[in-house]
Structure 1
Amino acid sequence: MSEFPPLKNDLILRAARGEFEKLYCMKYHEVKDGRDFFETCRDAEIASTITIQPIDHFDGLIDAAIIFSDILVIPQAMGMEVIMIDKQGPHFTDPLRKPEDLNKLNKHVDVTKELDWAFKAITLTRKKLQGRVPLLGFCGGPWTLLVYMIEGGGSRLFRFAKEWIYKYPKESHELLQRIADVAIDFLAHQVKAGAQMLQIFESWGGELGPKEFKEFSLPYIKQISSKLPSKLKELGIKEDIPLTIFAKGSWYALDDLCDSGYNAVSLDWLWDPKEAVKIANGRVTLQGNLDPGTIYGSDEIISEKVEEMIKGFGGGKQNYIINFGHGTHPFMEPEKIRHFLKECHRFGSQ
């Protein structure tokens, strides 16, 4: 893609492929007060500014930028209305509650039309980064998006989603397949727009038991990794695009995830790094997994936990990307995050 500036820092790409020894990456998004969340995402100039903000603020300490967007843009492209309610989170005005509700979804989704704004934001951001760091694109995992589309937002009981998989398994698989198809198309066009690495967030993976994860999540996660290369070829893209899978809470699935076709597996903070390294056995790059809540602690505690984490993953010398076990919180002090990043560099270089 010669229209983009040459990349000056490709650590995250090499780390994901297992070619480099260490990387420091974090997610840090800030939405300005008084502006609708999805309106912000759809404005390429504002989205690019927010994406680059942490790269500027923590200059030289972060090795990747992740595009400012949301996993729920796929349900929106499929015809569902989603609004972001302040201090509450996403809300679907008309969730899917019975199988016949599938008829309300768009049968044919043209992501180049429905999500054109997302691709414009990626292209603009890639150019504005001037090759300083790679730009990451992402999407939600099919099971996670199904949960949101059926529950109508976040949930504690997952009543309606569980009702679907146990009462309407056929229709559940139909919905999962439709989501997966859109996700593959969306991810491919993100790369065409300028994304250099992709991550799939199966954020509600841990709400499934081991058997159910293998039925309702893993097959669709694997479809994304197996079908994406051919989709990229259709778009004339020959580059090797590293893929990362993050299935929060799915402690039982690491072995399967290591064989699911992804370059990297991101871990939440519930994992003992040494145990994860043992299971992965060099098959993938591992990413994570500091508890984000550690940032609320003292500098001494942050330093202690960072050192402990890096040592647990083998000293960060190979097949490892340093990261949080989930995203940052809006209440965190930027200087605490700066201390975390500096400690990552310090212990990672020892």
Structure 2
Amino acid sequence: MNFKLKNDTFLRALLRQPTEYTPLWMMRQAGRFLPEYRATRARAGSFLGLCKNPDFATEVTMQPLDRYPLDAAILFSDILTVPDAMGLGLYFADGEGPKFERPLRDEAAIMALQVPDIDKTLRYVTDAVSQIRKTLDGRVPLIGFSGSPFTLSCYMVEGGGSDDYARVKTLMYNEPKLMHHILEVTTQAVIAYLNAQIEAGAQAVMIFDSWGGVLSHSAYHEFSLPYTQRIVEGLIKEKDGVRIPNVVFTKGGGLWIDSIAATGCDAIGLDWTMDIGVARQKVGNKVALQGNLDPAVLFANPNAIRNEVEKVLSSYGYGSGHVFNLGHGISQHTNPEHVAAMVAAVHELSRKYH
């Protein structure tokens, strides 16, 4: 599969190569803020019905690209496909978000955890990657992704989302060996999963450590970062002679940006609490940076959005190595017209920095 890329600005920015402007995409760009997504989701019958059907996954991945001139597509899927493939029984309760039928609550369940056969259990994801890549026909690169081992473990132990992470933190401090076992198995699964996405056609991959920021400094460096680093080291770095860059995003991880840069990743995703200029000073030329407009800015009027875009761009400053993004996923209540204003502002205002 060798569709020549018509727009490789995103990949060049991740590798800190010169670009004419700052490329952008948005976390959760295929999602509930788009009426066309809601229509497809209704046809699919459920969120999992959408994820597990490559035709639907392709359709919703393409929707934001048909509406906006974005510089990358991201596979439509969910980070919890991996624990689901491990047999924990993922389901979505109405209005309550993701839940697991069989969370990891005792030593026997934890020790029974195994790396799934990706080709059997997650074939629907790799099929979607191949189909999306074909449908894109080289328009823009396709991003594959996974949750980080720590973030996945939170869901696996808590049985769903959590406000205080009491179960997973109790396990971590009381039974660190059991916690490390979960992380070890999950790390192996994530490496296999991301590499399967790359083999299927993903041109960059992202590791979402969405809950890493809830850890203390020492716990982050014991239970999250080393496993993320193992994944970075285990990824396929080149396919068909082309580099496959990777991005690590720890929400709330601004404090540890030097440590994250030392994992060997190509780029670091920043949430909106970190000044991108300060981040750039800290990491120098080690990595590219992705981010980091506060998603709530998109509730404001187009002039205000334009001003906030300019602040992020000027804080990063001159030169390449910046992929513009939100500091977290776009809100479902965002006006699609406001997204158009942001995209136009980034493409127009960033040229003077290149």
Task: Specify the TM-score bucket, using the shorter chain as the normaliser.
Answer: over 0.9
Amino acid at match of 2:25: C
- State the match for 2:59 in structure 1: 49
CA distance in 1, matches of 2:48, 2:290: 28
Give the CA deviation at 1:267.
0.1
Q: Which amino acid aligns with 2:180?
A: H
Name the structure 1 match of 2:308: 305
Q: Name the SS of the counterpart of 1:222 in structure 2.
A: helix
SS in 2 for 1:79: helix
CA distance in 2, matches of 1:100, 1:239: 44
Correspondences of 1:70-219 after superposition (within 5 Å): 70-105=78-113, 107-219=114-226
1:18 aligns with 2:19: no
* Distance in 2 of aligned mates of 1:227 and 1:199: 13
User: Which amino acid in the other structure matches residue 298 of structure 2?
Assistant: I
Matches within 5 A, 1:321-340: 321-340=323-342
Q: Which amino acid aligns with 2:135?
A: K
Query: 2:87 & 2:96 partners in 1: Cα distance?
Result: 22
Q: How does 1:248-327 map to 2 (within 5 A)?
A: 248-315=251-318, 317-327=319-329
Q: Which deviations, in whole Å up to 9, do the C-alpha atoms of 1:299-345 show, x marking residues without a partner? A: 12111111011101114x31111111011111111100000100111
Moved more, 305-314 or 83-92: 83-92
Deviation at 1:33, TM superposition (A): 2.9
- Judged with a 3 Å threshold, the aligned counterparts in structure 2 of structure 1 residues 108 and 154 are, in CA distance, closer, same or farther, namely closer
Range 150-159 or range 3-12, more displaced: 3-12
Structure 2 gap ranges (5+)? 32-36
TM-score where L is the length of structure 2: 0.93
Q: Is the 2:146–2:208 Cα contact (8 Å) retained in structure 1?
A: yes
Q: Does 1:37 align with 2:47?
A: yes
Q: Tell me how far 1:7 sits from its aligned partner.
A: 1.2
- Separation in 2, partners of 1:184, 1:278: 31
**Corresponding residue number in structure 1 for 2:231:** 224
Do the aligned residues in 2 keep the contact of 1:4 with 1:127 (CA within 8 Å)?
no
Q: Distance in 1 between matches of 2:209 and 2:56?
A: 27
Counterpart Cα distance in 1 of 2:77 and 2:297: 25
Matched residue of 2:102: which SS? coil
> What is the rounded CA distance, in whole Å, between the counterparts of 2:103 and 2:214 in structure 1?
19
The alignment yields a C-alpha RMSD, in angstroms, of: 1.5
Moved more, 217-226 or 18-27: 18-27
Q: 1:238 offset after TM fit, Å? A: 5.2
Count how many residue pairs are aligned between Structure 1 and Structure 2.
340
Deviation, 1:151, is 0.7
**Are 1:347 and 2:349 matched, yes or no?**
yes
The TM-score with structure 1 as length reference comes to 0.94
Aligned mates of 2:232, 2:83 — CA distance in 1: 20
Letter in 1 for 2:87: G
Kindly provide the amino acid, as one letter, of the partner of residue 91 in structure 1. K
Equivalent AA in structure 1 for residue 26 of structure 2: M
Structure 2: distance between partners of 1:177 and 1:156: 25
1:244-299 CA-partner distances (Å, limit 9, x unpaired): 00000012210011111111000000001221111111210001000001000111
Identity %: 36
Once residues 282 and 14 of structure 1 are traced to their aligned partners in structure 2, the CA distance between those partners, rounded to angstroms, is 14
Provide the rounded CA distance (Å) in 2 between the counterparts of 1:324 and 1:313. 14
Q: Which amino acid aligns with 2:85?
A: A
1:189-227, Cα deviation, whole Å (9 max, x unpaired): 101111100000000011101111100011000000112
Contact (CA 8 Å) 1:99, 1:168: kept in 2 or not? Answer: no
SS of the aligned residue for 1:327 comes to coil
Structure 1 stretches of 4+ with a deviation exceeding 4 A read: none
Contact 1:90 1:154 in 2 (8 A): yes
Task: Call closer, same or farther: CA 1:83–1:237 in 2, change over 3 Å.
Answer: farther
State how far apart, in whole Å, the 1-side matches of 2:290 and 2:3 are: 27
The residue identity in structure 2 corresponding to 1:194 is G
Alignment gaps of 5+ in structure 1: none
Shift in Å at residue 5 of structure 1? 2.0
Deviation at 1:6, TM superposition (A): 1.6
Q: One-letter code of the match for 1:251?
A: G
CA drift at 1:4: 3.8
CA distance in structure 2 between the partners assigned to 1:213 and 1:77 by the alignment? 26
Q: Distance in 2 between matches of 1:49 and 1:188?
A: 23
